Amino acid sequence: MSSLDEHGLIARHFRPLATAAGAHRLLDDAASYAPPRDLDLVLTKDGIAEGVHFPAGEAADLVARKALRVNLSDLAAKGARPVGYLVLLGLPDDWSEAWIAGFAAGLAADQHEYAVELYGGDTIRSGRLVISITAFGTVPPGGMVRRSGAQPGDRLYVSGTIGDGALGLRAATGDPHLHGLVGEADRIFLADRYRLPRPRMALAEAVRRFASAALDVSDGLAGDLDKLCTASGVTAEVAADRVPLSAAAAACVAADRSMLDLCLTGGDDYEILAAVPSRSAPDFESAAMAAGVPVSCIGDVRAGAGPARFVDVAGQELRLVSRSFSHVRTDDPLR
C-alpha cells in the first residue's frame, strides 16, 4: 500500500507515457484525437488475466508489454498503423506501487519500440490482476484487411515461426516432458517467446497492400486458419513441413513428433497469417523482406468448405487432435 492516492499514482507513473496532446496529460475524463483526414480508424480490445493468460507472479513489465502487444498484433494483422491505446489496470488487493512502477516501465519501453502513446485509462481494484487494453490505429479508407477476402488460388503466408508460444508456455511452467526433450537454452528461448510476443508491426503495410485476408495467429495456426477460411467461404491446404519452426521448436519436434501437433494448434504465436493472391506474391515477399520480416509460404487457399487440411511430405493428412488451444481446459470455451 502506498501513501499516494490514485491521482498521485497516475501522475507519477502514467503521465510520462501520455505524450500525445489529446491525452491531456491524463488530467481529464477523456482523451481527444483528431483523425488524419481520409483515414479509417481500426480499433481492437483484448484483455489478459493472471493465471489464465500469464502465470501468477509474472514480472510487471512483462505483463504490461504482453497486454499491449497482443493488441498491437491485431492492428498489424489488419494492416493498420498503430496510434495509441487506453488501459484498464485491475489490481489485486495486495498491489504495490513498485509493481505499478514496473508495469508503467514495461509500457514505456514498448511505446518507444512501437511508436504508440497512452491516451487514457482507469486503475481499479479487481481482486485479481486483469489488464484490458483498447488500441487504435489508422488505415486508408476501407483499407482494413479483413478475414473474409481470401480467394481460391491465394497463397498462404505466415510470418516468423509457429509453435514457440505453445511450447514456451510449457517451458515457462516447467513442464517435465518438454524438459526431457530439449536443453536449457532452447527452453529459455521458448519461454521468452511465450512471455513476450513480437507483434509484426513492420509487416502491416505489406499486408495492407497485398493480402486478400489476414489475422494474427493467437489461438493456434489450424484454428485461426479455419476462421479465415470460414469468413472467406473457402478451405485451404497447408504443407505441414513448410510451416516455419524455430531451431528450438524443431528440436522439440525432432525429439517427439507429437510436438508438431502442439505447434500447429497451440496459441500465443502472434505471427501474421495472410492470404495473398498469387500475382501479388512476389511483391508481398519483396515488401516483407524490405520490412525485415521473414515470411513463409505454407500452402494455398482452395475452393470448398470445412477445416483446412494439413498434409505431410507424402501427401497424407495429419490428424490434429484439436484445432486450437485453450489456456485453461478444453471444456471451457473462454480464454
206-224 burial, b at 16+ Cβ within 10 Å, e below that, comes to bbbebbbbbbbbbbbbbbb
CB of 35 to a second copy, least distance (A): 5
Q: Quick one: cell of 124?
A: 481499479
**Rounded Cα gap, residues 266 and 110, in angstroms:** 25
From the CB of 129, what's the least distance to a second copy, in Å? 9
Q: Which stretch binds a second copy (CB under 8 A): 145-153, 163-171, 284-292, 310-318?
A: 145-153
CA 203-225-216 angle, 5° bins:
30
Only one residue has cell 505471427, namely 271
Q: Which is nearer to a second copy, 71 or 246 (CB)?
A: 71
**Cell 517435465 found at:** 176
Strands 295-302, 155-159: pairing is antiparallel
Q: Residue 269 pairs with which residues in a beta bridge?
A: none
Per CB under 8 A, which of residues 304..333 are in contact with a second copy?
A: 328, 331-333
Query: CA-to-CA distance for 135 and 86, rounded, in angstroms?
Result: 7
What's the CA gap between 164 and 325, in Å, rounded?
A: 13
- Render 217-232 in DSSP notation, one character per residue: ESS-HHHHHHHHHHHH
Q: Judge contact between 197 and 66, C-beta under 8 A.
A: yes
User: Contact with a second copy (CB under 8 A): which of 37, 112, 257, 319?
Assistant: 37
Stretch that binds a second copy, among 5-13, 178-186, 255-263, 285-293 (CB under 8 A): 5-13
State the nearest-atom distance from the C-beta of 215 to a second copy, in Å. 5
Residue 223 Cβ vs a second copy, minimum distance, rounded to whole Å: 10
Q: Which residue matches cell numbers 528440436?
A: 251
Taking the complex as a whole, how short is the minimal distance between the CB of residue 56 and a second copy, in angstroms? 11
Q: Considering the complex, what minimum distance in angstroms separates the CB of residue 303 from a second copy?
A: 20
Question: How many Cα atoms sit within 13 Å of 165 on the Cβ side?
Answer: 28
Cα torsion through 56, 59, 63, 66, rounded to 10:
-110
Kindly tell me which of 71 and 161 has the beta carbon lying closer to a second copy: 71
147 labelled binding-site residue: yes
* Through-space distance between the first and last CA atoms of the chain, rounded to whole angstroms: 30
Letters for 192-221 (x = contact with a second copy by CB under 8 A, - = none) are -----------------------xx-----
Is 268 annotated as contributing to ligand binding? yes
Applying CB under 8 A, among 2, 96, 258, 278 the residue interacting with a second copy is 2
Q: Per CB under 8 A, which of residues 67..126 are in contact with a second copy?
A: 74-75, 77-78, 80, 86-88, 90-91, 95, 119-126
332 is in an annotated binding site: no
Q: Does 280 bind a second copy (CB under 8 A)?
A: no
One-letter amino acid of 291: A
Question: Which window, 35-43, 245-253, 256-264, 282-290, contacts a second copy (CB under 8 A)?
Answer: 35-43
Closest C-alpha to 115, from 99, 131, 138: 138
Nearer to a second copy, 131 or 240 (CB): 131
Site for a second copy in 218-237 (CB under 8 A): 231
- Which residues define the annotated binding site for Mg(2+)? 29, 44, 46, 74, 122, 216, 219
Which residue ranges make up the annotated binding site?
Answer: 29, 44, 46, 53, 74, 121-122, 147, 216, 218-219, 268, 325
